[in-house]
Structure 1
Amino acid sequence: MASHRKSRPAGTRVAGIRTPALATAALTSVALLSQSANAAPEADDKPSLEEVEKKVDDLYRQAESATDKYNSAKEKTTKQRKRVDTLLDDVAKRTQKLNEAREELGSFAAAQYRTGASAPDTATFLLADTPQDYFDQTQLMNRMTGRQKVAVDDYVTQQSETMKKRQEATESLETLTETQGDLKTAKATVQRKLADARELLSKLTAEEKARLAAIEREKQQEAARKADELARQQAAQQKAQEEAAQQQDSGSASAGSGSSSSTAPADSSYATKAEKALAFARAQIGKPYVWGAVGPGSYDCSGLTQAAWKAAGVTLPRTTYDQVNAGTTVSLTDAQPGDLVFFYDDVTHVGIYIGNGMMIHAPKPGTYVREESIYYDGESAIHSVVRPA
């Protein structure tokens, strides 16, 4: 007997629902389109070369900022450690004096005990927290000899001063621990930023690295052009000042008795010091940038400027944001060789001006101390110019 059951249409089930072949094909198309849509952005996820360059520069700047924090914490740690060592030495000496004073009082107590005099008082004294509390009792103080009173006073003084110094040492140790924590954090931040920058650069192809080098050359050319422009402005300004001075001298000579004046420039002492600082800085050209380094084999930016001016007999603070306040701010067109040029809003970089829009500086990790235009990172990067002496 023939079956009357209808044949099942070709197709599949989706979530328990029977679907015809046409619907299946449509669903397949949608799935493929969805996969394509999701896959497309993957090719666009890779940052452009310009974005990589900006990110690397930002990371280096952040590393410099962290380096300044590291330098500051390191300086504080060094000072605090010296203070702690001094306090601990002082505490040790005072403890020795306290022990000597206690021994002297003990000898008095022992003498009283042997003679049977004031034995209860002696026992009370030895159990007392503060000897002065006990000896302040009128009946006992009246029985004490002058020598004994001096011994008690000395003991009380030594005990008070020793306790005070111990408290200072404890607080200084706590501060030292805190600054050591800041030092560790800053160091980890620098290392992380530098590692991130190296990772980004390592992912570049040979072609991308070549293009990045070409971009850098273009920036250097523009920086050199801006330096030449500043040099012309400074030369013109200097010429105008010299002509004005000559006119003033001529007027003074004609108005006077004909005697001439050859007074040295007011800034001659600065020029002498600056010459020494620049001679030192030039001798460091070619040495590597190492964050936290102050020489003699390597430097970071503020380590170099500090060492250069130290060679001229001028002491500068360790960090850029302290060095920027260690002198007189001058305009860029008035900048003289030896002046410090600071960069970025957060004052995280510094170089030493050599004239004609150029400076000597320790740029960043992976580079060396070198001469370079002060416009190496664009005109807007310049924060201020400071004359440190």
Structure 2
Amino acid sequence: MAATAVAVLIGALPLPHAGADPVPSNASDALKRYNELSTQAEALNEEHLRAQEELADAQGALDQANRDITTAEEAQESLRGQVDLLTEASFQGARFNQLSALLVSDSQQDFLNRMSALGVLAHDSAEALRGLEEAVDGAADAARRATEATESANQAIGEIDRRKGALNQQIDEAREAYRSLSPADRRSLNDAGDTGPIPVPAGQAGQALAFALGERGKPYVYGSNGPNSWDCSSLMQAAYRSVGISVPRTTYGQAKIGRGVSRNEVRAGDLIIYYSGQTHVAMAIDGLRAVHASTEGVPVKVQDIESIGPVDVIRRVVG
């Protein structure tokens, strides 16, 4: 794909830099180009994942609206039967006024009894009609929400298709650039860094960190959910899932969970979200290092926090 075509694709979406390892200034032009293309592909990957979440939300809203429609229709059917019974009673003489109650009463107590019955019937009729009106309104509201959810779902499907197409083209170009790298450049990318034992603190955050560290050396694959390969956000999700904590699938969702902490408060297990577009995530080991799945062609590895990229937000999931 020509560079101009790449520019068109990238310009169509908000594409801040993602989390590929920065390359040194003396790196080959091919390696610099690969780094540029892979960071763009990772940003597109997270955008595609977010579109999938939006589709799931829209489908969930549609399913709930359809359930609400069924409930409202059942309520209408029941209340219509009640209203019909009260109407039938009315035609049979159950609805009478105060004068007729007085004329036909045998005693004062009989009159009071008839007046009480009149009040009960009037109350029941009003309640039944009010309930029916609410059920009709509820069905109409549910139908409106179902229509809106259907439109949202259709838009999300279209967005997924659009972003998936852009992602596939970007990945193809990044992989082609990778194939053009020299053996030395490939060795540089494939360096797994520190794979030795790293102590972790007690508790869930430490256990999640131990999971992430245990994945060092495994490859990055766009959109992968493990267990043999990861992308940046799926590794974080799996690490916390291993200790019974649910976190969102995307970097955007992970940038909102837990509570925010400052850079000088960073501790083991914190999620460090990078770049203004929040398109990459790593897990802190301590105040200096983090473990992350960087980009395709680079294994899960430990790096200095600052070397990964500019920090946008830091979220503490536990504590």
- State if a TM-score over 0.5 links the two structures: yes
Task: Report the Cα offset of residue 315 of structure 1.
Answer: 4.2
Name the counterpart of 1:374.
304
Paired with 2:272 and 2:166, the residues of 1 have a C-alpha distance of 25
Indicate how the Cα distance of structure 1 residues 290 and 213 shifts in structure 2: closer, same or farther if over 3 A, else same: closer
Name the counterpart of 1:364.
295
Task: Report the Cα offset of residue 286 of structure 1.
Answer: 4.4
Paired with 2:269 and 2:126, the residues of 1 have a C-alpha distance of 66
The 3-state SS of whatever aligns with 1:62 is: helix
Name the counterpart of 1:78.
56
Gaps of 5+ in 2: 1-26, 94-117, 195-199
Residue 98 in structure 1 maps to residue 73 in structure 2: no
1:69 to 22, 27, 47: 47
Paired with 1:185 and 1:171, the residues of 2 have a C-alpha distance of 21
Paired with 2:276 and 2:29, the residues of 1 have a C-alpha distance of 21
User: Pairwise CA RMSD of aligned residues?
Assistant: 3.7
The letter of the residue matching 2:262 is V
Residue 276 in structure 1 maps to residue 204 in structure 2: no
The structure with the largest alpha-carbon Rg is 1
Name the counterpart of 1:200.
177
The 3-state SS of whatever aligns with 1:336 is: coil
Indicate how the Cα distance of structure 1 residues 282 and 101 shifts in structure 2: closer, same or farther if over 3 A, else same: same
Name the counterpart of 1:171.
148
Task: Report the Cα offset of residue 78 of structure 1.
Answer: 1.7
Q: Is the 8 A contact 1:338 1:387 kept in 2?
A: no
Residue 329 in structure 1 maps to residue 233 in structure 2: no
Paired with 1:171 and 1:78, the residues of 2 have a C-alpha distance of 14
Q: Is the 8 A contact 1:339 1:385 kept in 2?
A: no
Indicate how the Cα distance of structure 1 residues 51 and 344 shifts in structure 2: closer, same or farther if over 3 A, else same: farther
Task: Report the Cα offset of residue 364 of structure 1.
Answer: 1.8
> Where do residues 118-267 of structure 1 align in structure 2 (5 Å cutoff)?
146=122, 148-202=125-179, 204=180, 209-213=182-186, 216=189
Paired with 1:166 and 1:352, the residues of 2 have a C-alpha distance of 44
Name the counterpart of 2:66.
88
Q: Is the 8 A contact 1:351 1:359 kept in 2?
A: yes
Q: Is the 8 A contact 2:58 2:149 kept in 1?
A: yes
Paired with 1:158 and 1:109, the residues of 2 have a C-alpha distance of 19
Q: Is the 8 A contact 2:255 2:315 kept in 1?
A: no
Indicate how the Cα distance of structure 1 residues 287 and 95 shifts in structure 2: closer, same or farther if over 3 A, else same: farther
Task: Report the Cα offset of residue 111 of structure 1.
Answer: 9.1
The 3-state SS of whatever aligns with 2:203 is: helix
Indicate how the Cα distance of structure 1 residues 199 and 186 shifts in structure 2: closer, same or farther if over 3 A, else same: same
Paired with 2:240 and 2:133, the residues of 1 have a C-alpha distance of 51
Name the counterpart of 1:9.
none
Q: Is the 8 A contact 1:59 1:193 kept in 2?
A: yes
2:249 to 309, 312, 318: 318
Indicate how the Cα distance of structure 1 residues 325 and 84 shifts in structure 2: closer, same or farther if over 3 A, else same: closer
Using structure 2 for the length normalisation, give the TM-score.
0.65
Name the counterpart of 2:284.
353
Paired with 1:201 and 1:343, the residues of 2 have a C-alpha distance of 24
Aligned pair count? 258
The letter of the residue matching 2:301 is E
Identity of aligned residues (%): 25
The 3-state SS of whatever aligns with 1:338 is: coil
Paired with 1:387 and 1:161, the residues of 2 have a C-alpha distance of 40
Task: Report the Cα offset of residue 50 of structure 1.
Answer: 3.1
Task: Report the Cα offset of residue 167 of structure 1.
Answer: 1.0
Indicate how the Cα distance of structure 1 residues 214 and 83 shifts in structure 2: closer, same or farther if over 3 A, else same: closer
Which is bigger in relative contact order (C-alpha 8 A, separation at least 6)? 2
Q: Residue by residue, what CA displacement relative to the aligned partner does 1:144-189 show, whole Å, maximum 9, x if unpaired?
A: x645554433332221111111112211222222222222222222
Q: Is the 8 A contact 1:342 1:349 kept in 2?
A: yes
Q: Is the 8 A contact 1:358 1:371 kept in 2?
A: no
Task: Report the Cα offset of residue 195 of structure 1.
Answer: 0.9
Name the counterpart of 1:57.
35
Paired with 1:212 and 1:181, the residues of 2 have a C-alpha distance of 38
